[in-house]
Amino acid sequence: MASRTRLLRELKAKTEEFNLNTIGDNLTNWEAIITGPSDSPYVDGKFLISFQVPETYPFTAPKVVFKTRIFHPNVHFDTGEICLDVLKSDWCPAWNLEAICRAITALLSSPNADSPLNCDAGNMIRAGDVRAYNSMAKMYTLEYAN
């Protein structure tokens, strides 16, 4: 019941920044569109992410995945799973769905190559080959996120 009340409040208070909305009338399934930040190789890309919100929300983090293909060290290439501390160990009920969108946008600007789900992207950054990483990320953005 607390989950439903919280989600209804978030639905009412949402901004248009991420086009965050429920899928149909189901409060446990949400989608948002993240725009690639200007200081990243994802600039101007439009990335669809999906939220599966558990009944224990906000005490449990939602499952969030990229539906748009993206080349990023913290995003699993095949599943779209995101490695982000606020979705795992650092979750707290103060976080909401819009704040998660902001954290994901920040992750696009500042990838963490030390805990990669996409080892190819992580290895490029750790090896100092930022040019190759940026090139691949831009290529995937142009191919899938426009």
Which residues are known to be catalytic?
83
C-alpha 123/C-alpha 25 separation (Å) is: 42
Asked if residue 62 lies in contact with residue 53, where contact means CB atoms within 8 angstroms, the answer is yes
Backbone angles phi, psi at 81, to 5 degrees: -60, 145
